[in-house]
With several copies, the nearest count.
Chain A
Amino acid sequence: MTDISNSNALEKLRRMLRIRHFETVAEAIHAKGEIPGALHTYAGQEASGVGTCIVLRNDDYMVGTHRSHGHPIAKGAALRPLMAELLGKATGICKGKGGSMHLSDFSVGSLGETSIVGSGVPVAAGAGLGSKLLGNDRVTLCFFGDGATGEGAFHEGMNLAAVWKLPVIFCCENNGYAVSTPSSAGVPVKHMTDRAKAYDMPSAQVDGQDVDAVEAVMAEAVARARSGGGPTFIETLTYRYADHAVNMGRVLLDRGDEVDEWKKRDPIDLYRARLLDSGVAADVLARIEDEVSAEVADALQFARDSAYPTQAEAFDDVFVDRLPIPAFVQI
């Protein structure tokens, strides 16, 4: 199944590893107080982000959620500005003003996480509309969770994309829970793909732990979108290992041995095994892992070495021009 002559093959592993290492480090330093605010990690879901984004061009667009450390990385973003952002530094991708819930990288088409559940869906439809009106063939990928499908914004964005046949791929990352609420308690359909029926939108459900399988359904969806065939809804069946978030209320949940069960199908382990099976040498994989480790360490060092934003920066980027700064603010 995995075609290692495909230049993407090792890149998929690399990106999944980047996400995993990036977050492992982030969690560790968050626990030490180096990262302020909350942290919603993506660990366990890497194949969903990478399998979809790997199909995209650099100039295609992607819209994330509150759980989007992985998405810009999957889309090809450099790690330094992302890590610096988590630490609230001026060199962060959002100049330290967004933090964990707003990772993004417009230079690779990552139009940002939005931490209001469901709110990225209309934005993604709009990016698709923009491409259509500008007459280019870029497509937009929109991530959201199972829980997000309860939101009106989800419905309206899906509906617009369907009515206008916009080049948008909607990727519902079904990790089984919205905070503490099992999908079955918040969503009346068994398969998220049934949501797409309300829009007559083609849909596919896929094993979200299998990066190749995700890539295959995504490739079909992208081909459809790019050729004017309109939107597709993809459900990736996946799982988050960690609690919903740290430092955002008390969101512990007893999930029994579910986590351990899912870890047996860890997307990175699965894919690594497959690569080995396909004849990739173990030391090639080891080298990639070392490189990624070094990359993440470098990003952390960069972030740590960077300065915090100045107070005046708090008044930039509200509008295109800086706001007048009130007298009481010391700059």
Chain B
Amino acid sequence: MAKLTYLEAIRQAQFDEMQRDPTVFLMGEDLVCNVFGTATGLVEAFGTERVRDTPISENGFIGAAAGAAMVGTRPIVDATISSFLYPAMDQIISIIAKSRYIYGGQARLPLVIRSCMFYGNSNAAQHSDRPYSMFMNVPGLKIIVPSNAYDALGLLRAAIRDDNPVLCFEDSTCWSGKMDVPEDPDFMIPLGCGDIKQEGSDISIIAIAGGVPLAMKAAKKLAKDGISAEVIDPRSLVPLDIALILQSVRKTGRAIVVDPAHQNCSAASEISAQIVEHAFDALRGPILRVATADTHLPFSPDIEKPLYPTVDRIIAAASQLVRSDTRMKA
């Protein structure tokens, strides 16, 4: 076991995979200067051909990743901040998500696009995006949302070895968390396997990325109030481990979805819709979403922070569900 932060875990996965497989390479803006610390030592180990600084042209180099993948390499793109994916939407959707299909399986696109969700820190509306739900609406893209260092290592390694395009959304609110991770260089978490972060019996809290630590804290406090919360981390949104979620909800009869993204058409909305569609009979009350208010993120810190999910909001939602339960337990 090694103790790594989330950022170090990302670096580790990249390092190990580049060492294991010479066709893996990394590109992005200002990689070499290692802005966020996920590239420590990579240039020294692999040189600037395989750790490649790009011009500022997200659509260009993300599209180039597609082309490079089609001819036999396995690119990892570090797109830095998720907000910078918008200029590249066309290559991500029209090319990366669709090429294998429109060419009837002739193309293979083993590539990873990493970006961090840089919110909660007064970076204002243009730098605070958490846009994974947009990509969930597009078939052909796998999506991972690690919430801690262990998952980041295991998921990212699996993503790099996956023969499909994978988007990795890294939550900056989780960056500094340190934890034990396996040293086995083949340690992987298969995409599509959710994780029960804490078992419980009264309510299921499905939490995404930075929502997970909040949910864990809320669960602790709820326990003191005699409410036993089960915390589920889907870990990948495509594929989504809906079986695990439904199993939990069938047990508890109550569900909250915690999602740091804007609420409208969010992953939380999707998970809620799937629960009501497939586990309606088990539900003892509404499914509540604890997501970000559907306004932009303002710069001024005091008015920014209350817009996101908070521990208090999760506790309030859970208490409301348990207290106002109008149906009898089956």
Contact = CB atoms under 8 A, between A and B. Distances in A.
Interface stretch (A152-160, A210-218, A263-271, A287-295): A152-160
Given A36-B122, A99-B124, A123-B70, A156 B59 contact: yes
Contact of B36 (A93, A114, A250): A250
A310 interface: yes
B33 A115 contact: no
Nearest to A148: B56
B30 A251 contact: yes
B294 A115 contact: no
B103 A129 contact: no
B105 A98 contact: no
Contacts of B61: 122, 156, 160
Given A104-B106, A159-B55, A36 B301 contact: yes
A30 to B, nearest CB: 11
Interface string B105-137: 111100000000000011111110000000000
A90 to B, nearest CB: 8
A159 B60 contact: yes
B301 A88 contact: yes
Contact of A122 (B53, B66, B100, B126): B66
B79 to A, nearest CB: 13
B87 A185 contact: no
A328 to B, nearest CB: 5
B296 A124 contact: no
A119 B95 contact: yes
Contact of A126 (B36, B63, B102): B63
Interface in A107-150: 111-112, 114-119, 121-134, 138, 140, 147-148, 150
Contacts of A253: 33
B1 interface: no
A245 to B, nearest CB: 10
B60 A160 contact: yes
Contacts of B90: 116, 119, 153
A317 interface: yes
A160 B66 CA distance: 14
A145 to B, nearest CB: 9
A191 B303 CA distance: 45
Interface stretch (A175-183, A232-240, A273-281): A175-183
Contacts of A115: 124, 126-127
A115 B61 CA distance: 19
Interface string B50-86: 1001111101111111111111110100001001101
Interface residues of B, number: 79
Contacts of A256: none
A42 B191 CA distance: 43
B70 A130 contact: yes
A116 B86 CA distance: 10
A98 B57 contact: no
A181 B30 contact: yes
Contacts of B276: none
Contacts of A148: 56
A94 interface: yes
Contact of B69 (A130, A140, A147, A152): A130
Interface centre among B69, B86, B91, B139 (most CB of A within 10 A): B91
A151 interface: yes
Contacts of A163: 55
A96 interface: yes
A104 B75 CA distance: 23
A115 to B, nearest CB: 5
A101 interface: yes
A114 B67 contact: no
A75 to B, nearest CB: 14
Interface in B35-59: 35-37, 49-50, 53-57, 59
B70 A126 contact: yes
Contacts of A198: none
B100 to A, nearest CB: 5
Interface string A218-261: 00000000000000000000000000000011111100000000
Contacts of A38: 123
B127 to A, nearest CB: 6
A151 B103 contact: no
A329 interface: yes
Contacts of B59: 122, 152-153, 156
B71 A61 contact: yes
A272 B211 CA distance: 55
Interface stretch (A13-21, A47-55, A296-304, A318-326): A318-326
A58 B101 CA distance: 23
A251 B35 contact: yes
B140 A179 contact: no
A315 B23 CA distance: 29
Interface in A55-105: 61, 63, 85, 88-89, 92-102, 104-105
Interface of B: 23, 25, 29-30, 32-37, 49-50, 53-57, 59-73, 75, 80, 83-84, 86-87, 90-91, 94-95, 99-108, 121-127, 139-140, 142, 163-164, 293-296, 298-304, 306-307, 313, 316
5 contacts: A117-B56, A123-B63, A123-B64, A186-B55, A250-B33
Given A119-B94, A134-B71, 10 more contacts: A94-B106, A96-B299, A116-B95, A119-B63, A122-B95, A123-B91, A127-B71, A138-B71, A311-B303, A319-B140
Interface of A: 36-38, 61, 63, 85, 88-89, 92-102, 104-106, 111-112, 114-119, 121-134, 138, 140, 147-148, 150-153, 155-157, 159-160, 163, 178-181, 185-187, 248-253, 308-311, 313-320, 323, 325-326, 328-330
